[in-house]
Amino acid sequence: MSSSEIARAEPRVVGVLGAGQLGRMLVEAAARLNVSVRLLDVGDSAPAKQICDVPAQAGSSARSEHIDGSFADGEKIKALANKVDIITVEIEHVDASKLQEVLDQGLVKEVHPTPATIKLIQDKFAQKDYLRNKGLPCGEFSPLPEPAQNASDTVQSQARAIEEAGDKYGYPVMIKSRTQAYDGRGNYVVKTASDASDAVNALGAGTRGLYAEKWAPFEREVAVMVVRSSTGEVRSYPAVETVHKNNICHSVFVPLRSRDARIGSRARKIAEKAVSTFSGAGVFGVELFLMGDGELRINEIAPRPHNSGHYTIEASETSQYENHLRAILGLPLGSTELKVGSAIMINLLGLADLDKDKDAIAKTYAPAVVSLNIPGTTVHLYGKSGCRKGRKMGHITIVGPSDAAVRDRLAPIQDALNTATE
């Protein structure tokens, strides 16, 4: 008799903190493996909940077995823990201490990755300090004063420290929020010393923990998805090139092409080494900067499936979502090899706010409409209500036998995007 999770009479139930697009694609992979999922996020219509209907048991006043609430709310995390065997995350901005507590209390058997890993990674300064201490390449960075009781005192002390960082690193200098950052929303580029207090005011006005990073004049950005099993086996996907516009991931080119083929394998080695130091299972997204001289530096790591790994659904032998589930359930990890010659992923970012522009959705989805006529192309729409400028609304993955074939397929989609953006 097999002891494999997928052959169990009573498969374990997986709880996920967050029900956005990453959760939605995780649910798609779970459905294929008969893995039941319960989601914690606000509302009944979060993207992942829309495709994972689990009606409430008889007698319950709730509408569904999912939990309606914030993934940062300790009581809601406890309510989820009471319904599931294993907990994982699709976002790192969760209450990590509560996750440790439900684990210690035996309310769930496992949390992946471990609450300690999530806690470490969710503070970007602590994460970088940790990686540097492990001997991983990170570029230079330094802390700014912690928020004091009086916010205006903090504005002054943080602004002074930014000027010191500017003196040390030169301008521009990148200022980042330590926590709660995503899509560049916690970042501020300080161009001259006179911008220092504007940066502090834009990033929490003296109420938030910040740190300074030396500007990285990178040639390109690179990402590597890595899956870590519960026994510590680590496998990386091929290195890819990511292109960001206004701090948001815009497109991903697979695999990374570079003058020196060793750059991709070096990026994978760095990413594997970093992920092998963490505890707990699952997929991690490692973002790196490739400098002009071929040097690679880690920008940051996400403890979950990642935007730069969406392409794995169509282009890889096992998607990042399936491998995340395999890892947390103790199943054998799947192959991370590409099964196509080349792939490109384009994010569909909201092009306007729906309340200001009634054509916002039509414009945003125009490239998706065009792509329906192009072979090798898959559209993913996330079911988000409304449309806001810059919001991740969907993505398109294009695969083909070669870079040339994929670029040909991209051309009409890019034209549609350019026209919609005008």
At position 59, the amino acid (one-letter code) is: G
216 binds, among Mg ion, ligand ATP, none (CB under 5 to 8 A by kind): ligand ATP
Site string for Mg ion, 295-314 (x = CB under 5 A): -----x--------------
Q: Which stretch binds Mg ion (CB under 5 A): 86-94, 206-214, 293-301, 341-349?
A: 293-301
At position 53, the amino acid (one-letter code) is: D
Q: Which of 188, 185, 119 is nearest to 159 (CA)?
A: 188
Round to whole Å and give the CA distance between 318 and 30: 13
Q: Are 350 and 361 in contact (CB under 8 A)?
A: no
CB-wise, 309 or 376, nearer to Mg ion? 309
| Least Å from the CB of residue 359 to Mg ion | 30
CB-wise, 186 or 334, nearer to ligand ATP? 186
CB-wise, 176 or 324, nearer to ligand ATP? 176
Pairing of strands 220-228, 234-236: antiparallel
Element (H, E) at 189: strand 187-190
Alpha helices in 139-246 (DSSP H): 151-169, 196-202
28 binds, among Mg ion, ligand ATP, none (CB under 5 to 8 A by kind): none
| Least Å from the CB of residue 181 to Mg ion | 5
| Least Å from the CB of residue 167 to ligand ATP | 17
Please give the structure tokens belonging to residue 322: 């399936």
Tell me phi and psi for residue 270, to 5 degrees: -60, -45
Q: For the chain, how many residues are written? A: 422
Which residues make beta-bridge pairs with 37? 14
Alpha helices in 149-253 (DSSP H): 151-169, 196-202
186 binds, among ligand ATP, Mg ion, none (CB under 5 to 8 A by kind): ligand ATP
CB-wise, 64 or 180, nearer to ligand ATP? 180
Q: Give CA 45 to chain center in angstroms.
A: 21
184 binds, among Mg ion, ligand ATP, none (CB under 5 to 8 A by kind): ligand ATP
32 binds, among Mg ion, ligand ATP, none (CB under 5 to 8 A by kind): none
CB-wise, 299 or 371, nearer to ligand ATP? 299
Residues that bind ligand ATP (CB under 6 A): 174, 176, 181-187, 213, 215-216, 221, 244, 247, 287, 299-300
Question: Contact positions toward Mg ion, by CB under 5 A?
Answer: 287, 300
